[in-house]
Amino acid sequence: MSESPVFPSDAVTQQSQFLQVMDREQALLRFQNALDLRPLGSETVALSEALGRVLAIDYVATVDVPGFDRASVDGFAVQSMDTFGASEAQPVILQLNPEVLSPGIVPNCPVLPGTATPIATGGMSPRGADAIVMIEYTETSDDPRQIHITQAAVPGQFIAFAGSDIARGETALRCGHVLSSREIGILAAIGCDQVTVYRRPQVAIFSTGNELIALGQPWQTGCVFDSNAAILAAAVTEIGGQAHVLGIVPDDEKELQKALSQALQYDMVILSGGTSKGAGDLSYRVVSRLQNPGVIVHGVALKPGKPICLAVTEKKAVVILPGFPTSAIFTFHEFVAPVIRALAGRPVRQTQSIDAQLATRLSSEAGRTEFVMVSLIASDNGFMAFPLGKNSGSVTSFSHADGFVRVESTVETVAAGTPVSVQLIGALEPADLVVIGSHCVGLDYLLSLLQQQGVRVKTLSVGSLGGLAAVKRGECDLAGIHLFDPQSQSYNTPFLTPELRLLPGYRRLQGFVFRIDDARFSGQTKEAALQAALTDPHCLMVNRNAGSGTRILIDQLLGKHRPNGYALQTRSHNAVATAIVQGRADWGVAIESVARQYGLGFIALQDEHYDFVLHESRLSRVQVFSDLLQQATVREWLGGLGFGCVGRFG
Ligand SMILES: Nc1nc2c(c(=O)[nH]1)N[C@H]1C(S)=C(S)[C@@H](COP(=O)(O)OP(=O)(O)OC[C@H]3O[C@@H](n4cnc5c(N)ncnc54)[C@H](O)[C@@H]3O)O[C@H]1N2
Ligand code: MOO
């Protein structure tokens, strides 16, 4: 990683320019008005290379498909009139013509009244025949020149007439059609081996930032892998462009200028990172020098994506996407994808929306139209939209979301239960099993096994209390919970209501987690460790999110005490471990298996029960999961991961 940047004195003033952000719709319109959104031109490619391409011309069939009257069963070509009244009891006897019509054979003999010709599926129906009798409804005769027909045929039966599939002169496919395997089949059927398609927009992509590491290189503290280039390149390909990933450009004005000049040989340029107008944000500085007309929009009243910069030079789009991964891909789809689609000749994407109810309360920043990523769960009361609760810096926020909810710039809170319209991002996959609640690596393992069995699983980590509430509201099949009831000194069971059932899970050890060389904790009893944590003013803790079972345990452990770091809430055992490994905190509470995984010290605090709760109406849906839990090999595996199964199954 490079040294910290030094902010020049005008940094604050420059940053404040972002106060003049543009409305999303206006920004989109201005950008598109500065571009020529017609397809880029056409080229001819081999049919074998045409998958995903867009037809640039109409395809009119120059042949009939099928090209002749074709038998669609094995049997006998006949004149249907001859067969009227035929039955097993009273077969009609026909004289056989002296040929057999296998596919590819051109018939010589017409089928005259009282005659039949043996024909195979795909064979060319002879003149005179108007039906095929299936071989199953015939019997051989003692006379090999005769056949007995035991069922009457209707005219046209089992003959596919010439041109009945595609007729010569018919438009088989229209210009603008995106070629999937199905369209490729049609083109092949009319004999095309070359097709005229629109040229694919060539899109240059590069990432900026000294902290970026190319994929495949070793990770370094403080750095991030360049995920933006990978997701953007794949997204460009998905919508019909051809991506050229030019790599990572460091925060160096000359290097950036060079990269941009090189990238301008393509049809479009996409950069990510350094969009802000402040100090080290060189991308904007370099792009702002473009002319004819240059920068069109910089800053949109949008979340995620406020600092996006849209420029056009000589009719070419040059876009700086925000560095944050969710902001980058979201703004790509909002502003850049429509342009690529238009240049590629693809139809405008029709967005699909689903009505849902907001599952939890939302707060939003006033002044920006916010698009909140949500996961959709089909509940007893229709779809529930769960905000994913991660910010624009997260990669998974966009990648895991089923869709997003638009919150207008004037709205600051949206109450749980509010009806919302969710714009879908991809296809909404139905789930066979929905699990909401506390996250656990043991559960992860079980769900992976189910996935391997073909069970489609959907999970949401919202903590034990959130999971319990979701089960009660009919939003999920199962909730993983580990809730301790101090009064009864027992786990989970006291939280059940009459209609809920407990599926016993496994035991896991919760404990103090710390760096192994920390003498304040290493080798101490839990009492001494807690004492050190509470009395040493330099000792920093890392907390867990409210609503999680671990947080309840922590609060019980701390009583009235609020040690340094208490306000810092993380959302998983792994996040606790990372904070300690990297020295941002000295101790926290997490499960033993995670402590082990991160090479941390561990002092056991509580042998807790991680169980599954379900509504009685869902018993049949969770059967497959319950069966899995009882398998001896699965219990052994869980034991190996540090999860005790102590015979509580069954
Ligand atoms: N004082 C203010 N700070 C920020 C504001 C603001 O208005 N005032 N806006 C915030 C918003 S909103 C966004 S979005 C970000 C955008 O910042 P930049 O576009 O300048 O992006 P960077 O600073 O370069 O990076 C942000 C973040 O993303 C990571 N990143 C960058 N490139 C990649 C990549 N190729 N792959 C994966 N991750 C990447 C980078 O490491 C940073 O963590 O600014 C806020 N700040
Ligand atoms: O606009 Mo930024 O993308 O909110 O995070």
CATH assignment of the domain containing 136 = 2.170.190.11
DSSP 406-442: EE-TT--EE-TT-EEEEEESS-----SEEEEE---HH
32 within some domain: yes
CATH at residue 411: 2.40.340.10
Ligand 1: centre distance to CA 360 (Å): 27
Cis peptide before 293 (omega within 30 of 0): yes
Angle at 427 between CA 424 and CA 429, to 5 degrees: 110
Indicate whether 123 and 180 sit together in one domain: no
Selection from 55, 425, 399, 54 nearest residue 240 by Cα = 54
| Among protein residues, the one whose CA lies closest to atom 25 of ligand 1 | 323
CB 219 within 8 A of CB 209: no
Residues 443 and 564 in one domain: yes
Tell me the C-alpha to C-alpha distance, in Å, between residue 40 and each of 16, 198, 315, 343, 585: 39, 7, 12, 5, 55
For residues 609 and 460, membership in a common domain is answered with yes
Specify the pLDDT at position 641: 85
Q: Are residues 586 and 490 in the same domain?
A: yes
CATH number of the structural domain spanning residue 642: 3.40.190.290
pLDDT score recorded for residue 533: 94
Residue 547: per-residue pLDDT: 82
| DSSP secondary structure letters along 359-396 | SS-EE--TTSEEEEEEEEEEETTEEEEEE----TT-SH
Which residue's alpha carbon is nearest to atom 4 within ligand 2? Answer: 304
Predicted confidence at residue 544, as pLDDT, reads 95
DSSP designation for 252: -
Distance 220 CA to ligand 1 centre (A): 19
In this structure, what is the dihedral angle of CA atoms 40, 44, 47, 53, given to the nearest 10 degrees? 0
Q: What is the 3-state secondary structure (H, E, C) of 102-122?
A: CCCCCCCCCCCCCEEEEECCC
Q: Which of 213, 324, 396, 399 to mutate to test the pocket of ligand 1 (most atoms within 8 A of CB)?
A: 324
In a domain, 5, yes or no: no
Q: Per this entry, what is the length of the chain? A: 650
Name the closest-CA residue to atom 12, ligand 1: 306
Q: What is the mean pLDDT of each run of 10 residues along the chain (650 residues)?
A: 40 45 92 96 98 97 96 98 97 98 98 98 98 98 97 98 96 96 97 98 96 96 96 97 97 95 98 77 91 95 94 97 95 97 93 93 90 90 88 88 94 95 90 92 93 93 91 93 92 96 94 96 95 94 91 93 94 94 96 94 94 95 93 91 60
Q: Are residues 53 and 74 in the same domain?
A: no
Residue 301 lies in a domain: yes
Specify the pLDDT at position 277.
60
One domain for residues 477 and 563:
yes
Indicate the residue among 424, 454, 478 that finishes a domain.
Answer: 424
Tell me, yes or no, whether 54 and 189 share the same domain. yes
**Whether residues 635 and 650 fall in one domain:** yes
**Can you give the pLDDT at residue 645?**
65
Could you tell me if residue 4 is inside a domain? no
Full residue range of the structural domain in which residue 459 is found: 432-650
Distance from Cα 251 to the centre of ligand 1, integer Å: 13
Answer whether residue 176 is part of any domain: yes
Cβ–ligand 1 distance for 274 under 6 Å, the answer yes
Q: Are residues 116 and 138 in the same domain?
A: yes
Residues 112 and 59 in one domain: no
Whether 395 is covered by a domain: the verdict is: yes
Question: How many domains is the chain built from?
Answer: 5
Instruction: Give the CA-trace dihedral at 640, 642, 643, 645, to 10 degrees.
Output: 60
- CB of 150 within 8 A of CB of 87? yes
Is 584 found in the same domain as 442?
A: yes
List the structure tokens of 271.
């950069």
| Amino acid in position 589 | V
Q: Is residue 310 part of a domain?
A: yes
Query: Distance, CA 331 to ligand 2 centroid (Å)?
Result: 10
With a 6 A CB cut-off, is 325 part of the ligand 2 pocket?
A: no
Task: Judge if the beta carbon of residue 210 lies within 6 A of ligand 1.
Answer: no
Whole-number Å distance, alpha carbon 650 to ligand 2 midpoint, is 49
Q: Decide whether any atom of ligand 2 lies within 6 Å of the 392 Cβ.
A: yes
Q: Are 146 and 47 in a shared domain?
A: no
Query: Is there an atom of ligand 2 within 6 Å of 303 CB?
Result: yes
pLDDT of residue 279: 62
* 213, 215, 276, 396, best to mutate for ligand 1 pocket (most atoms within 8 Å of CB): 276
Is the shortest distance between the CB of 371 and ligand 2 below 6 Å?
A: no
Q: Measured from the CB, is residue 275 less than 6 Å from ligand 1?
A: yes
CATH number at residue 57: 3.90.105.10
Question: Which atom number of ligand 2 is nearest to the Cα of residue 327?
Answer: 3
In this prediction, residue 379 carries a pLDDT of 85
Q: Looking at residue 7, what is its pLDDT? A: 39
* 392 CA → ligand 1 middle, Å: 9
Residue 533 counted as domain residue: yes
pTM summary value: 0.87
- Nearest of 519, 594, 585, 580 to residue 550 by alpha carbon: 594
